[in-house]
Amino acid sequence: MIIDQIMPKSAVLHRDLRHQFLQLASCEGHYCILTDGRKIFDSSGDAAVACLGHGHPRVLKAIRQQDAIATYCATTFFAHSTSEELCQLLVDSTEGHMSKAYIVSSGSEAMEAAMKLSRQFFLEQTPAQRTRYRFISRSRSYHGITLGALSVGGHAGRRANFEPMMCNNTSVVSPCFSYRGQASHETDAMYVARLAKELEDEFIRLGPHIICAFVAEPVVGAALGCVPAVPGYFKAMKAVCEKYGALLILVEVMCGMGRTGTLHAWQDEGVVPDLQTIGKGLGGGY
């Protein structure tokens, strides 16, 4: 195969077939140690994940203790005190605003689960609500690499090769990106009002009765480069969602778990989502 001709000899199908990757020997604290002895300071937590550092002794001790008790629990049949403890901690951290937590294995899977749960929520309502199946997200957004999560994102470059396979259930509106999108004559309030009208117009264009949810990151991560919304934006977006009976899904896989100063990024302005996804910093790479 041509792949064997262009990529370094390896059984691993790396994400870049022409790149010779650095060989990692071990990780300690904030450093990645290569096989040639060089130490690299991990200033980004790898893919914005290893926020506790590598090999933290408290975390390793907890892992060993849990492994000695149980390494896998089939949730079809069993509950376990460890998952109960984690979910209760997460629920309590919302100060009474949210009531349940559902554990999956990745941020992409969390997005998929949120999409399915929002649909299932409306299936449990009156027949008039069971028509909801579509989502509205924002251009230049990224919510995960699996097909469903990729479909609900608006990142053109990451969608391009797989566009024929995308779920045809999402449309996009403009992101809240004041540096690029806010006109010189607009105040923050005027800019928010324009974006809220754009979202409402999209509800009306599609038909409000088919919209499950509006999906957005409180602080946009890699897709825009750590871009927060202007004050009042999410309050206005939630008002539009509530007007038409749709849900607000906030994606905090990258920006959540304390990275904005509060444990949950939505707590900065107090705009509570109906569903929230978290990841990365929650597990810290362990």
Q: What is the pLDDT of residue 20?
A: 84
Look at residue 34 and tell me if it is in a domain: no
Portion of the chain with pLDDT greater than 90, in percent: 82
Look at residue 29 and tell me if it is in a domain: no
Q: What average pLDDT does the segment 112-116 reach?
A: 97
- Provide the β-strand partners of residue 170: 135
Look at residue 113 and tell me if it is in a domain: yes
Phi, psi of 29 (to 5 degrees): 60, -120
CA–CA separation, 249 vs 132, rounded Å? 15
Reported as a single tens digit per residue, the pLDDT across 175-219 is 999 999 999 999 999 999 999 999 999 999 999 999 999 999 999
Look at residue 215 and tell me if it is in a domain: yes
Q: 4: pLDDT confidence band, cut at 50, 70 and 90?
A: low
Look at residue 20 and tell me if it is in a domain: no
Lowest mean pLDDT across 32-36, 155-159, 246-250:
155-159
CA–CA separation, 165 vs 173, rounded Å? 21
Q: What average pLDDT does the segment 280-286 reach?
A: 92
Q: What is the pLDDT of residue 8?
A: 59
Look at residue 196 and tell me if it is in a domain: yes
Q: What is the pLDDT of residue 7?
A: 57
Domain CATH for 112: 3.40.640.10
Q: What is the pLDDT of residue 3?
A: 54
Domain residue limits at 152: 95-282
User: Is the CB of residue 65 less than 8 Å from the CB of residue 56?
Assistant: no
Look at residue 137 and tell me if it is in a domain: yes
Q: Are strands 219-220 and 227-228 parallel, antiparallel or unpaired?
A: antiparallel
Q: What average pLDDT does the segment 86-104 reach?
A: 96
Q: How many domains does the chain have?
A: 1
Q: What average pLDDT does the segment 95-107 reach?
A: 95
Look at residue 60 and tell me if it is in a domain: no
Q: What is the pLDDT of residue 2?
A: 56
DSSP string, 12-37: S--S-TT--PPPEEEEEBTEEEETTS
